[in-house]
Amino acid sequence: MSASLSKGRLRGLATGWGYHLSRLTGPLALLGPAGLWLLLFLVLPTLLILDISLVPGLRPEDVDSAYGLGNYSKLFNPFDPAFDPVYLQVIWRSVYYATVSTLACLVLGFPVAYWLAIMAPRRWRNFLVVAFVLPLWTSSLLRSYAWMSILRPTGLLNSFIAWLSSFIPGVELPTQSWLYTSTAVFVGLTYNFLPYMVLILYASLEKLDISLLEAAADLGATPRQVFWKVTVPQTLPGIAAGCLLVFITSMGDFVVPTLLGGASSMTISRLIYNQFLGITRNWGLGSALSMVLIMAVSLAIALLLKYGDRDSVKEA
């Protein structure tokens, strides 16, 4: 990742503009087009969102509306009469979904990454990692759709459970009705982001020096001690990077909560969507929510940069 804002110390120049320009054509040709595009379609729009978020309750047809912190106040200020706790609820729910999924990914992903990095035969490692991560690049929309048909009350999972029950005489295994509940959202989010976690943890574990583990074992540590006192501390940056990345992406996820969640699974992404392309048409509030999301993500990234493992992030 980039260094902090560096004002490069370079030698001064005293001659005229022509010289400047001819010097600039190189970098300008290389950096110009992309830079201009990013400026126009990323930086400027984000500034615009900031601007609109400062107009309370702006609807697309409003022309003259005053600036004010009304949108943010509505979200966060309990003393504002327009305050509605439901927005905090939605934000909290997004954080909750993201946290549970992250933990699930970590708990499931670490053994997998460990096996792939340390226990799997060396020649196969790269192939296995790629194979595990491959579903990540297929459409999350379609994979969530697959889960819809598996998790429905008359879907595949219940049929499977019923089939298992048929082997155990007299016992009826409980069937699930997870679709349209939070559980389905957890399953969907974990499923979608497990490969991310495995990839990042793998990158971190791959660099682990096995001789350290062996040395610890030789010195009399039990496998558990070796794990907690040697492996984990060494891979902590990778763990941090993986967790934060999964957390960030699952907090902003739209497809899984929309398709797999039910009436009580509104997340921040869908709430923002509703403000612009849905019923409410409150562009001011939607922009404010969008800024909140960007702030939260930036905070997480700042933490990531401070504590995370840079190479793992690059790998991702």
Partner 1 sequence: MPRQRALYLPRAYRLGPTRRRFLQGSAAAIAGVTLANCRQNIAQQAAPEAEAESTGSTTEGGNGGGSGVLHVYTWADYTNDEMVNAFTEKTGIEVIVDIYDSNETMLAKMQAGGGDAYSIIYPSDYMVQQMIELNMLTKLEPARISGLDNIFDKWQDPVYDPGNTFSVPFAWGTTGLLYNTDVISDAPEDWDYLWDNSSALSKQMTLLDDVRETMGMVLKSLGYSYNSTDPAEIEEAYERLVEIKPDLASFMSFGFEDGLLSGDLAVVMAYSVDALSSIAEDDRLNYVIPSSGSSVWTDTLVIPTTAPNADAAYEWINFNLDPAIAQLNTETLFNATPNKVAYENLSAEFKNDEKLFPPEELLAKCEGIAPVGDAASVYDEFWTRVTSA
Partner 2 sequence: MPKLSFPNTWQGWLTIALFGFMYGPIVVLGIYSFNDSRRYTSVWQGFSLRWYESLFQDARIFRALQDTLFVAIVAVAISSVSGTLMAIGLCKYYFPGKGVYRGVSYLPLIIPDISIAVATLVFLASMAIPLSIWTIIAAHMVFCLAYIAVIVSSRLGSLDPNLEEAALDLGATPTQALIKVLLPQLMPAIVAGCLLAFVLSVDDLLISSFTAGGGANPLPLEIFSRIRNGVKPDMNALSVLLILASGMIAALAEYLRYKGSTMER
Q: By CB under 8 A, what part of segment 151-190 binds partner 2?
A: 154-156, 158-159
Contact segment (CB under 8 A) with partner 2 among 11-19, 118-126, 214-222, 235-243 equals 118-126
What's the 3-state SS for the chain?
CCCCCCCCCCCCCCCCHHHHHHHHHHHHHHHHHHHHHHHHHHHHHHHHHHHHHCCCCCCCCCCCCCCCCHHHHHHHCCCCCCCCHHHHHHHHHHHHHHHHHHHHHHHHHHHHHHHHHHHCCHHHHHHHHHHHHHHHHCCHHHHHHHHHHHHCCCCHHHHHHHHHHCCCCCCCCCCCCCCCCHHHHHHHHHHHHHHHHHHHHHHHHHCCCHHHHHHHHHCCCCHHHHHHHHHHHHHHHHHHHHHHHHHHHHHCCCHHHHHHCCCCCCCHHHHHHHHHHCCCCCHHHHHHHHHHHHHHHHHHHHHHHHHCCHHHHHHC
Contact call for residue 105 and partner 2 (CB under 8 A): no
Q: How far is the CB of 80 from partner 1 (least distance, A)?
A: 13
Contact call for residue 68 and partner 1 (CB under 8 A): no
With respect to partner 1, which residue has the nearer C-beta, 11 or 224?
Answer: 11
Cα Rg of the chain (Å, integer): 25
Residues 225-244 contacting partner 2, CB under 8 A = none
- The option from partner 1, partner 2, none interacting with 294 (CB < 5 to 8 A, set by class) reads partner 2
Contact segment (CB under 8 A) with partner 2 among 71-79, 174-182, 210-218, 294-302 equals 294-302
Contact call for residue 263 and partner 1 (CB under 8 A): yes
- The option from partner 1, partner 2, none interacting with 233 (CB < 5 to 8 A, set by class) reads none
- The option from partner 1, partner 2, none interacting with 41 (CB < 5 to 8 A, set by class) reads partner 2
Q: How far is the CB of 85 from partner 1 (least distance, A)?
A: 9
Contact segment (CB under 8 A) with partner 2 among 63-71, 105-113, 202-210, 227-235 equals 105-113
- The option from partner 1, partner 2, none interacting with 138 (CB < 5 to 8 A, set by class) reads partner 2
Contact call for residue 40 and partner 1 (CB under 8 A): no
Contact call for residue 84 and partner 1 (CB under 8 A): yes
Residues 111-170 contacting partner 1, CB under 8 A = 152-154
Contact call for residue 46 and partner 2 (CB under 8 A): yes
Q: How far is the CB of 147 from partner 1 (least distance, A)?
A: 15
Q: How far is the CB of 11 from partner 2 (least distance, A)?
A: 12
Contact call for residue 15 and partner 2 (CB under 8 A): no
- Residues within the interface to partner 1 (CB under 8 A): 7-8, 10-13, 20, 23-24, 26-27, 47-48, 51-52, 55, 58-63, 65, 84, 86-87, 89-90, 152-154, 177, 179-180, 262-264, 266, 271, 274, 276-283
